Amino acid sequence: MSAITVIILVLYFVINTFVVKGGTWLPECTPIYVQYFVKFFIIGVTVLVVAVPEGLPLAVTISLAYSVKKMMKDNNLVRHLDACETMGNATAICSDKTGTLTTNRMTVVQTYIVPSKPTDIPGKDV
């Protein structure tokens, strides 16, 4: 959009100065014309600098919503959009018996190997 803004400003200036008013490009007027073109370029950069921070949250939200949709196809329910950023890169997901996601600090407290009986791990309370 900033490039389009610069192009439109330059075209407007050229058409207005040389076609409508019938002016000619004189060597002594070159610094004045260059000042106008630099001014148009600065306006284009200003539009770019102002537009990027405004559009960034929208772009992030759209990409996270797309990630939620992809995860729903894999039967993963995601309630918060920002969780997709973390869960999209996960290779192993730990959960307890209720299905609640944990903080990746699960430890074994009891083992059972067929045909022996359960054995407790020393130092751990069940």
Active-site residues, by number, are 96
Print burial letters for 47-73: b (CB count within 10 Å at least 16), e (below 16).
beeeeeeeeeeeeeeeebeebbeebee
CB atoms within 10 A of CB 81: 14
